[in-house]
């Protein structure tokens, strides 16, 4: 096999066959596009494989290869760029191709994007995790972004702005972070990073997003050898708490009234200890602490950690008596297919009780 692959005559034959196949497919596309579109979902995997593995085939196939969107419409590469270029060009001049890998489970994200006037490609094939990378490398000034990788306002950044910024004091941020972390059920091989953003009153109270790069690496690792490191990493989600949502405002108001007075003394202690730690480190002009200073520094760091643990503990105790916090988190998990087993059963029981 290796001998044949390296043989000049075999290479010429292979190149000729590839050229003829591409030519014939282009003829079929031009002769009856409707029929070609009808067959596309069945033949797509073979054409994509050829485009991924053969540079010359890609150049030929880009004339008839199709992109399907969530409305079931088919476009050539040139047609699709014309369709989305005006609305989906970011502040750096890149045309952003939004895509979904599962139109059913990612429906809410798709709707938010289409309501904004964006178009979303369907990339649910076996090779599509690789194919989106090929599109980025072959199409000039193009980025591919999965529709659930960020909130809709940041999928295609139009300008540098800070409109989602939330004004929280350090103690409020620590308190609310601990509160939402406590109320998040354990999901196997999954981590959640809690953040706060002022999105809009109409948006969901809690939104889950996944980093585009890390998720894509994990998907590629599932079908490609040599990438086991990425495959072993846990799934990481950003848990974005929408502080403009009415229910989150209610939670925050209750926490400020009932929990903040309890945890504020611990934050005051953290601030004082941090100030002492800063003074201690600045006392060494060359940055090198003496053994005595190192011991003092370690003691201060341990006390800071203990005070943070106290904030977490108080927030956890408070969260256990607030089913509304768990409810908004479970709704986000449910929307992303992450609420299962005992956690799903508890959610149903809690929902019935709250009704």
Of the candidates 64, 56, 54, 60, which has an alpha carbon nearest to the alpha carbon of residue 28? 64
Do the Cβ atoms of 297 and 281 come closer than 8 Å? Answer: yes
DSSP state of 94: P
* Rounded Cα distance, 247 and 217, in Å: 35
> What pLDDT, on a 0 to 100 scale, did the predictor assign at position 333?
93
What average pLDDT does the structure give for the chain? 88
User: How many Cα neighbours within 13 Å face the side chain of 294?
Assistant: 5
Q: What six digits make up the tokens of 126?
A: 């076996």
Question: How many residues does the structure list for the chain?
Answer: 355
Q: In the chain, which ranges are continuous DSSP H helix?
A: 2-6, 8-31, 33-53, 55-61, 77-84, 107-115, 128-138, 152-155, 170-183, 212-223, 228-232, 246-254, 260-282, 291-319, 323-335, 341-354
Give bridge partners of residue 235 from the DSSP assignment.
190
Single out the residue of 22, 21, 123 nearest to residue 63, CA to CA: 22
Q: Which two tokens stand for residue 98?
A: 């939004």
Cα gap 58→50, rounded to integer Å: 7
pTM: 0.78
Coil, helix or strand for 22? helix
Listed residue (151, 156, 147) closest to 89, CA to CA? 156
| Residue pair 48/55 in contact by the 8 Å Cβ criterion | no
CB atoms within 10 A of CB 263: 24
Q: Which parts of the chain register pLDDT below 70?
A: 1-17, 160-163, 220-232, 285, 287
Backbone φ and ψ for 37, nearest 5 degrees, come out as: -65, -40
Q: How confident is the model at residue 324, as a pLDDT? A: 93
The span from the CA of 112 to the CA of 108, in Å, is: 6
Beta pairing partners, 67: 75
Closest CA to 322 of 267, 262, 248, 241: 248
Question: CA 220, CA 129: separation in Å to the nearest integer?
Answer: 6
**Phi/psi class of residue 234: alpha, beta or left (left: φ > 0; alpha: ψ in -120 to 50)?**
beta
Find out whether 25 and 105 touch, Cβ atoms under 8 Å.
no
């Amino acid at each position: 096999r290796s001998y044949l692959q390296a043989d000049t005559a075999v290479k010429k034959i292979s190149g000729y066959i590839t050229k003829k196949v591409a030519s014939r497919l282009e003829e079929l596309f031009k002769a009856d596009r409707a029929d070609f579109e009808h067959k596309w979902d069945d033949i797509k995997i073979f054409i994509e494989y050829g485009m991924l593995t053969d540079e010359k085939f890609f150049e030929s196939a880009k004339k008839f290869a199709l992109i399907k969107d969530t409305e079931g419409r088919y476009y050539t590469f040139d047609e699709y760029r014309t369709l989305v270029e005006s609305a989906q060009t970011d502040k750096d001049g890149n045309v952003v191709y939004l895509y979904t890998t599962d139109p059913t489970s990612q429906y809410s994200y798709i709707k938010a994007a289409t309501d904004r006037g964006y178009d979303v490609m369907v990339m649910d094939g076996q090779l599509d995790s690789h194919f989106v990378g090929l599109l980025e490398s072959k199409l000039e000034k193009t980025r591919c972004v999965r529709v659930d990788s960020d909130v809709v306002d940041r999928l295609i950044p139009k300008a540098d702005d800070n409109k989602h910024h939330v004004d929280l004091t350090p103690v409020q941020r620590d308190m609310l972070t601990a509160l939402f972390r406590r109320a998040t059920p354990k999901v196997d091989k999954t981590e959640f990073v809690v953040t706060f953003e002022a999105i809009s009153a109409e948006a969901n109270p809690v939104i889950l997003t996944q980093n585009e790069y890390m998720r894509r690496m994990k998907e590629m690792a599932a079908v490609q050898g040599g990438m086991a490191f990425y495959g072993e990493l846990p799934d990481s989600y950003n848990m974005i708490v929408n502080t403009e949502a009415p229910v989150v405002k209610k939670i925050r108001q209750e926490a400020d009234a009932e929990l903040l007075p309890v945890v504020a003394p611990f934050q005051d202690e953290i601030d004082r200890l941090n100030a002492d730690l800063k003074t201690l480190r600045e006392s060494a002009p060359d940055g090198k602490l003496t053994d005595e200073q190192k011991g003092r520094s370690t003691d201060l760091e341990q006390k800071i950690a203990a005070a943070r643990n106290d904030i977490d503990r108080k927030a956890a105790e408070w969260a256990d008596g607030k089913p509304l916090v768990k409810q908004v988190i479970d709704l986000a998990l449910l929307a992303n297919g992450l609420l299962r087993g005992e956690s799903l059963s508890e959610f149903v029981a809690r929902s019935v009780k709250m009704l």
